[in-house]
Amino acid sequence: MVEKELRVGVVGAGVMGSGHVEYLSQDIPGVTVVGLAEPNEDLRNALLQRWNLSCPGFDSLEEMLDTVSLDGVVIASPDRFHAESIKLCLSRKIPALCEKPLAQSLDDGEELSQLAQKSLTEMGKPLIHLGFMRRFDPPLVEVKNIIGSGELGQVLYVNASTRNVSSPGIKSEELLTNIAIHEVDTMRWLLSDEWSDLTVLKGRPTSVAPDGLQDPIVLTGGTVNGVVIVADIFANNSYGYDVRCELTFERGVVRVGIWGDVTVVRDHQHPAHPPFALGENWMARFRQAYVNELVEWTETLRGKPSSDLATVEDGLRALQVLDWVSSES
């Protein structure tokens, strides 16, 4: 039996929207991009031309929903528009995969959670999923399996880094809601544990940061089961995209390198690594994660439930944890 071709619309033609248009049109079978909502006409047209797409472009999500029939929407607009886009999709009963964060404030997140719960009761299935793509990153999935196997004992300590080359226009609070939110969600998922506390350390800002921007910051916290976590967040490192994670176990160390190489240090052995070049941003490093996430999401549009996609409640929990830090500032 031939499966129905899915009709998907994308919101946003920036870095994330461009990536989703590429993946949906080039990598995901059985999917057609039938609309692109982006207020910048030049940006919108350039993206459609890049992938030889003949679908119409729209100035807004609302206009796209009014004009074309859609099975689902990928929301990849700037963070400040996520909440209103999710509300609109819920009101139209249109499934959506929204890039993180769920919202930029806890109040908005809690309102969206209530609306999503009401929709779940009415529809019998979740309409909104969150784009925490690291849950679909093959190297991190490998590490999660190592944790689950118990072969190295329990995880004692985690050290993580997320360092962007540049983040034009970012605000100090967005180092939390736009970047650190990845660490908050990833640790919950990776460790199958909940955060118990979180604080932020602020030191000397980089000289390339705009006046008033606190960059970098360091998060320190722990989980209910006693794992200590330290994560540094750098929005403008100037030297190359740099994301890493090291987990210290009772009987070894597991490191996930900049390009997703997984190194297991045990029994007095440390594998060597050749030199490599750094990327410009996260898209190349996490390309397969985005594709895997979209494959999983499009299957939900065909009626297959997913226990792996992040939910509105996952997005809300991340905002709640970050609010501990925001409340201290």
So where are the chain's domains?
6-133+289-319, 138-282
Q: What is the pLDDT of residue 119?
A: 96
Residue 270 has pLDDT above 90, yes or no: no
Residue 199 has pLDDT above 90, yes or no: yes
CA dihedral sign of residues 19, 24, 27, 28: positive
pLDDT tier, 7 (very low <50, low <70, confident <90, very high otherwise): very high
Q: What is the pLDDT of residue 167?
A: 94
Fold of 138-282: Dihydrodipicolinate Reductase; domain 2 (3.30.360)
| Tokens of residue 132, six digits | 């925490």
Q: What is the pLDDT of residue 269?
A: 77
Q: Which CATH number fits domain 6-133+289-319: 3.40.190.10, 1.10.3720.10, 1.10.730.10, 3.40.50.720?
A: 3.40.50.720
Quick: pLDDT tens for 125-166: 999 999 999 999 999 999 999 999 999 999 999 999 999 999
- As a whole number, mean pLDDT of residues 11-37 equals 97
Helical spans, DSSP H, in 57-180: 61-67, 82-92, 106-123, 138-149, 174
Closest CA to 134 of 65, 199, 180: 180
Q: Is 35 helix (H, G, I), strand (E, B) or coil?
A: strand
Q: How many other CB atoms are found less than 10 A from the CB of residue 227?
A: 21
Query: How is 220-277 classified by DSSP, letter by letter?
Result: EEEETT--EEEEEEES--SS-BEEEEEEEETTEEEEE-TTS-EEEEBTTB-------P
